Homo-oligomer: A and B are copies of this chain.
Amino acid sequence: MNSRCIILLAHGSSDKRWCDTFEALAEPTLKGISNSRIAYMELAEPSLESVIHDGVAAGTREFTIVPLFLAAGRHLRKDVPAMIEELERATGASVLLTPPIGDNPLLGLAIKDIVAHQLDQGDDQ
């Protein structure tokens, strides 16, 4: 059991199909890693704020946010750190922000496998 809560943070969208894709992307993590959640910055639920407030209410004091973003732009450099500062102040929790998933070399290797898979599918047609 992992006392630290892992939050997969996506941007969010009013388009349900967009959120469905992120929920499918999160599924292996949510199933395989205990005390993990998905949350959205804006435009979709659950919000980052509600996930952290719920976690604190259930006794969690430490959170790690893994951004489901390929690269860091303004959101990850400015908006999310500001949200975290405010949530830490409001709840007393400790919230760690990791680099976005696209900074991890494992993701580039997965992309190569996906491209190879697309090419194989094309050959079958």
Contact = CB atoms under 8 A, between A and B. Distances in A.
A6 B115 contact: yes
Contact of A68 (B22, B28, B70): B70
Interface in A69-122: 69-73, 96, 98, 100-119, 122
B29 A112 contact: yes
Contact of A73 (B18, B28, B96): B18
Interface in A53-72: 64, 66, 68-72
B118 A28 contact: no
Contacts of A102: 21-22, 25
Nearest to A103: B21
A114 B119 contact: no
A8 interface: yes
Contact of A111 (B15, B101, B117): B101
A24 interface: yes
Given A73-B15, A116-B33, A68 B25 contact: no
A110 B112 contact: no
A26 interface: yes
B17 A115 contact: no
B22 A118 contact: no
